[in-house]
Amino acid sequence: MVILSLRSGGSLLPFLDRLHVKSRDLAELVLLAAIWGGSFLLMRIAAPDFGPFALIELRVGLAALVLLPILGMQGGMRLLFHRWMALSAVGLTASALPFVLYAWATLSVTAGFASIVNATTPMFTALVAWAWLRDKLTPATMVGMLVGILGVVTLVWGKVSFKPGGSGWAVAACLGATLSYGVAGSLTKRYLTGVPPMVTATGSQLYAAILLLPLALAYWPQQTPPASVWAAAALLAVACSGLAYVLFFRLMARVGPTRAVTVTFLIPVFGMLWGALFLDEHITLRMIAGCVVILLGTGLATGVLSTLRPGPPSR
């Protein structure tokens, strides 16, 4: 566990001063990372009993029920239905598909492992934007992608086996989920620019629930899961989707998207921590090494490291 000192003259204060992050924003950033890191733990707990389709239907459906009243109070219901086609595409690629892939993968890989692979999302987002939207790739972005790939190779080296009982397909599912997130980013930029973020968040959950409903009904568990598993599924929906979106978009409004995306650096820490504390998962040196290299590549690819580069504190 890392303990940050806030004493006067400590190393953290100049860092935060350069980043322009207030203590309240920092606390919410850490809370958001803890919640999203916990989503992998909750999927590990609930997926074996519910199955991927039913579990994610509960996640996005309940999350939509949490977000809809908030959106209604903000007056965004008209846009929610007016932009249904674009929101459905984003719901598929940002929620339905990646959530199902991660839920299926966590049947075979640990929560910590899945959370580390999730950190490659910004790199896939940049790559898809370059291929589809013709966004420019800076030299730092390309170096960051190469470093991130090296981190993934370090993480999965010796683990990938596509034989029966191997984890190769689960690793591929995790990477497929992050690629789907990258596609969702370009879809949002291409078709939902100017749409309020809460409309996008609510719509993605609502339309993901509609898209998944037939599969969820077809694969609904024949035996009723125990109460503890229902609690994990409810917490996954209400906290990791509903509350997390509210926190994330509030942070984006206050500190901007570049600083809000630094939550990516903290999610694997909590993913590994919760897995070790509650499921007795082992944190190996290879996992730590792969995590560090992936996060370094992510920082280079997104430009976050240049934002955090040492310099004179701002007034």
Which pLDDT tens digit goes with each residue over 58-106? 999 999 999 999 999 999 999 999 999 999 999 999 999 999 999 999 9
Task: Give the separation between CA 229 and CA 225, rounded to whole angstroms.
Answer: 6
Average pLDDT over residues 227-238: 97
Residue for token pair 């992936």: 294
Structure tokens at 277: 């504390």
Structure tokens at 140: 């730092």
Nearest CA to 105 among 154, 153, 149, 166? Answer: 166
Task: Give the separation between CA 101 and CA 96, rounded to whole angstroms.
Answer: 9
Structure tokens at 285: 């040196």
For residues 72 and 81, the answer to whether their CB atoms sit within 8 Å is: no
Percentage of the residues of the chain whose pLDDT score is greater than 90: 61
For residues 28 and 21, the answer to whether their CB atoms sit within 8 Å is: no
Q: What residues have CB less than 8 Å from 295, skipping those under 6 apart?
A: 119, 151, 264, 265, 268
Task: Give the separation between CA 290 and CA 172, rounded to whole angstroms.
Answer: 16
Average pLDDT over residues 216-228: 97
pLDDT at position 308 is: 52
Looking at every residue in the chain, the average pLDDT score rounds to 86
Structure tokens at 270: 């909590």
Task: Give the separation between CA 196 and CA 75, rounded to whole angstroms.
Answer: 11
Does pLDDT of 305 surpass 80? no
pLDDT at position 13 is: 42
Does pLDDT of 5 surpass 60? no
Average pLDDT over residues 267-281: 94
pLDDT at position 307 is: 56
Task: Give the separation between CA 298 and CA 268, rounded to whole angstroms.
Answer: 13
Does pLDDT of 3 surpass 50? no
Domain assignments of the chain as residue spans, ordered by start = 22-303
pLDDT at position 10 is: 42
CB atoms within 10 A of CB 101: 23
CA atoms within 13 A on the CB side of 212: 30
Helix-then-strand count for the chain, H and E: 17, 0
Structure tokens at 313: 């504190």
Q: Could you read off the pLDDT of 258-272 as tens digits, one per residue?
A: 677 778 888 999 999
Which range has highest mean pLDDT (167-176, 230-239, 304-313)? 230-239
Residue 137 sits at φ, ψ, to 5 deg, of -105, 115
Q: Where is average pLDDT lowest: 77-81, 166-170, 307-311?
A: 307-311
Does pLDDT of 231 surpass 90? yes
For residues 197 and 26, the answer to whether their CB atoms sit within 8 Å is: no
- CA distances, 24 to each of 44, 57, 200, 265 (Å): 31, 33, 25, 18
Residue for token pair 């509030």: 250
Average pLDDT over residues 173-177: 95
Instruction: Provide the 8-state DSSP code for 193.
Output: T
Structure tokens at 69: 């009243």
Nearest CA to 130 among 119, 147, 117, 144? Answer: 144
Strands (E), the chain: none
Structure tokens at 294: 């992936």
- For 176: left if phi > 0, alpha if psi spans -120 to 50, otherwise beta; the answer is alpha
